Each structure stands twice: as structure tokens, then as C-alpha cells.
Amino acid sequence: MNAGAFALSLAVTAAVALAVLLITFAVGVRTGRHRGVDVAWGLAFTAVALTGYALSDGYGDPGRRLLATVLVVVWGLRLSAHIWWRARGAPEDPRYARMLSRAPEGPARTRYALRMVYLLQAAIVWFVSLPVQAAQHIPHPPGALAWAGAALWAVGLFFEAVGDRQLARFKADPANRGRVMDRGLWRYTRHPNYFGDACVWWGLFLLAADTPSGWAFVLSPILMTYLLAFGSGKPMLERQMGAQRPGWAEYAARTSGFLPLPPRRTPTVQSFPRSRR
């Protein structure tokens, strides 16, 4: 790996991630809604991958560069399109409304949103994408571990896309209003989309991990998995579901919280903290 070229690429991709989120911030301020940052999440990863692909030309193996870039672009565009379709015409996301309510209205709240939502997510995008950028600069063709990573990515995309589709169809049926989704992949894990997301990023890490230098970026998928399972993903959503869905406790008692597992036969009802929403 050419250290100078890689360092330059890291600086440029950081600027690109920041630019995508700042543009989204400007739109959010103009519309008064900040939920668009979720759409920008996948677009920012896509922009970083495409930028890294361009800057690694002549330094990384063409096949590995193309593989890493295509996998990120497919994942990022699918996710952004899904979130945009789901949120079109909807009011502000309660998560952001609750977060921003901690700051007083006016310029202080705008600065708080910039710092705690947009700048933070730009930093996370750049950090989590480090294995992809590293893979784009590796001069060797992908080996067995890299192809295993591509297979893991495919498993993750399956769980994300199929889980999202199953949930969308479930919600579209008026008969399911107020009910807990416990069919399809949701029978085996309470969060097939979050589990799939974790698989995607561990798979992308493996594209760089078949070289010793690639292991320097193992904290990137660890951070993503932590955010999904213990940070702003699963815990926040489950507090909301526990407060809004009468059958949630029974579903949670019999269904794995993250990893897909067979449903438990004799559930023990769990209690969940009530949301203030």
C-alpha cells in the first residue's frame, strides 16, 4: 500500500463525507426537519467509496477496488432509497425531535443539531468506511478471506433487504395496525435489518483483512456493530416499541435480540422501560 496516496485519499474522503452531511444540514434547517440525515447516511458512504475508488486508481488492485466500491454503492443506494420511500411526507422523526429538545429553540438548537447529528455522523461515516478505503489501496488481488467477506456482505444485504420488505408489507396491511411484526425473518431476530447491517460491514472489513495492514481497521466494524446493537439502534427502538406495542414483551421473550436463532418455546415475559413519547 502506498502510504502517501492512502493518506491523501483519507483526507479527501473526510472532506467528501463532511460535504454530504453539511448539504443535508442545510436542507434540514430550511425544511425544519432533520430526518433527512438518515437518507444521507447511505449516500455519504456511497460518496466516500466512489471518491476512494477514483483516488486509488494506479495504486490498488483493479479487481479489489471495484469489488469494494460496488458492494458499498449497492448497499448505500438501496438503504437510502428505502429510507426515503418510507419517510416521504412524514413529520420529523421522534428520535431527532427528542434529541433536539435538549437545546433551547433558535440558533442554539441549530448549532446543537449541526454538532450532535450531522458532524458526528460525518465522522462515523468516515471512520466506519476505513476498511473499504484500505481495500481500495491494496495492490494484491482479493484472496479467499476477501471473497468470504463478499459472501458475508451478501448474507447481510439479504437480511436487510428482505427484512425491510417484509416489514413494509406487514405495515401496509390495515389489519396489522398496532400489532408486532413476528413473521418471516422477524420470527428469528427482532432486528434482521440491524443484524444484516452488521454482517455487511464485517464483510467489507474482510476485503481488507486478507493483508496484515487491513487488521489495523478492525475497530470500524466493531463501532458499527456497537451502534446497532447497543447504541442508537436496537435499544432506542426497543424502548419505543415496548411503550407502543401491547404484544412486544411476549415477542421479545421468545425472539432473539440480534443474532437469528430459533424462537424460544417457553417465553418469560420481560419488562421494558416506558418511553416518554
Neighbour tally for 266: CB within 10 Å: 6
Give CA–CA dist 193/201, Å, rounded: 13
Give CA–CA dist 211/197, Å, rounded: 23
Q: Is the pLDDT of residue 271 over 70?
A: no
Residue ranges per structural domain of the chain: 1-141, 142-277
pLDDT for the residue 103: 82
pLDDT band per the 50, 70, 90 thresholds, residue 266: low
Tell me if 206 sits within 8 A of 248, measured CB to CB.
Answer: no
Name the CA radius of gyration of the chain, rounded. Answer: 20
Average pLDDT over the chain, rounded to an integer = 90
pLDDT for the residue 228: 92
pTM of the model: 0.89
Q: Is the pLDDT of residue 114 over 70?
A: yes
pLDDT band per the 50, 70, 90 thresholds, residue 272: very low
Q: What is the DSSP letter of 136?
A: H
Tell me if 82 sits within 8 A of 163, measured CB to CB.
Answer: no
Q: Is the pLDDT of residue 274 over 50?
A: no
pLDDT for the residue 268: 47
In 3-106, which residue ranges form alpha helices assigned H by DSSP?
3-31, 36-55, 62-87, 94-100
DSSP 207-265: HHHTSGGGGGGTHHHHHHHHHHHTSTTHHHHHHHHHHH-TTHHHHHHHS-SSS--PPPS
Pick the closest to residue 51 from 16, 4, 86 (CA basis): 16
Q: Which residues of 230-262 are buried (b: 16+ CB within 10 A; e: fewer)?
A: eeebbeeebbbbbeebeebbbbbebbbebebee
Q: What is the pLDDT of residues 139-159, one digit of tens each?
A: 999 999 999 999 999 999 999
Q: What is the pLDDT of residues 5-60, one digit of tens each?
A: 999 999 999 999 999 999 999 999 998 888 889 999 999 999 999 999 999 999 99
Q: Is the pLDDT of residue 216 over 90?
A: yes
Average pLDDT over residues 228-246: 78
Q: How many residues does the chain have?
A: 277
Give the position of cell 444484516: 196
